[in-house]
Amino acid sequence: MNTAVLNLLACPVCHTTLVLRKQKRIGVRIISGNLYCDTCGKTFPIKNGIVCFTASHEKLERKKLKQLRQTTILQELTNRWQHLYSPRELRALKKEWNWMLTTICKEKNTIHLDFATGTGRFLRFISSYTNGELVALEHDYATCTELLYFLKKIKKYDHISIVCADACAMPFVNNAFNSVSSWHGLDEPFIQGAIQESQRVLKKHSYFIGSGIHYQKKSKSFILAKKTSILFTTKESILRFLKTAKFYSVVHKIFFVGQWNEKEDYLPIYGDFYSVYGIKAKKK
Ligand SMILES: [Zn+2]
């Protein structure tokens, strides 16, 4: 974690700023230490430069780490993941990403938050664009360690800090970021909480930008998700979440309509029509 991020961190429970203890630094980077909340009495460790607010750092599965590394080597470092997309899908994705970039702050003295970062496919794209600081929020520690490996390999780690936390309980003070993004983080459960939190941690008059998928109404995926109470977003629900979180100037845009082609996925169901949407909104 870069020291520039330290002042933005807060307890995810009570939002009190945290006290850093037993730290080890290399240059502007804090490699290890403990962050202590005076109000709750809770301690959050920094491990390998990753700030940990979830318990996922306590036990790492060897098998999972191996799988993640395989994907990094075979797909991400080589950009071979692009072969998983049809030419039409890839064109739509590039349009979607470029549209998302237009709201991300790129000036040197700015700080941007990306949540549900995963192993960094979209973050890599942002990092080539912005000169500001970046914070990547991801809830799983194994994925965070892989993200760290990936960013070091592509030489993009210098201006990025990795925070392992829940997007519905962001460990940041209010009004911290110049922009907030999430590429398909809106497909995750409990997205309403993440939208509320994005609003809280954004500076005034700043943008939230995200994307996700909608199932076609009355499709098999739509019916199955409803039947099994799996949370998913419709255009109406995402607009409602943003309104509840007091966002304004909302723009909803469809980038792609097609059939799902992953046979192994539980949802969406193979062959079902779906659409990829982007959404941007401003904090008052
Ligand atoms: Zn606290």
Query: What DSSP string describes 26-44?
Result: ETTEEEEEEEE-TTT--EE
Judged against a pLDDT cut of 90, whether residue 231 lies above it is answered with no
What pLDDT is attached to residue 121? 94
Whole-angstrom distance, CA of residue 213 vs CA of residue 111 = 27
Tens digits of residue pLDDT in 96-136: 999 999 999 999 999 999 999 999 999 999 999 999 999 99
Q: How far is the CA of 183 from the centre of ligand 1 (A)?
A: 29
Q: How far is the CA of 185 from the centre of ligand 1 (A)?
A: 26
37 φ/ψ angles, rounded to the nearest 5 degrees: -100, 115
Fold of 90-116+167-284: Rossmann fold (3.40.50)
What residue type is 240 in one-letter code? R
Distance (angstroms) between ligand 1 centre and the Cα of 190 equals 22
Other C-beta atoms closer than 10 Å to the C-beta of 27 total 9
Q: What is the pLDDT of residues 158-215, one digit of tens each?
A: 999 999 999 999 999 999 999 999 998 887 777 899 999 999 999 999 999 999 988 8
Distance 18 CA to ligand 1 centre (A): 8
- Residue 45 CA, ligand 1 centroid: distance in Å: 14
pTM of the model: 0.94
| Predicted pLDDT at 131 | 93
**Could you identify the residue written with the tokens 């800090």?**
161
Lowest mean pLDDT, pick from 4-8, 205-209, 257-261: 257-261
Q: How far is the CA of 60 from the centre of ligand 1 (A)?
A: 26
Query: What's the gap in Å between 136 CA and the centre of ligand 1?
Result: 21
Q: Can you give the length of the chain in residues?
A: 284
SS3 143: helix
Q: How far does the centroid of ligand 1 lie from the alpha carbon of residue 16, in Å? A: 6
User: What is the structure's pLDDT at 224?
Assistant: 80
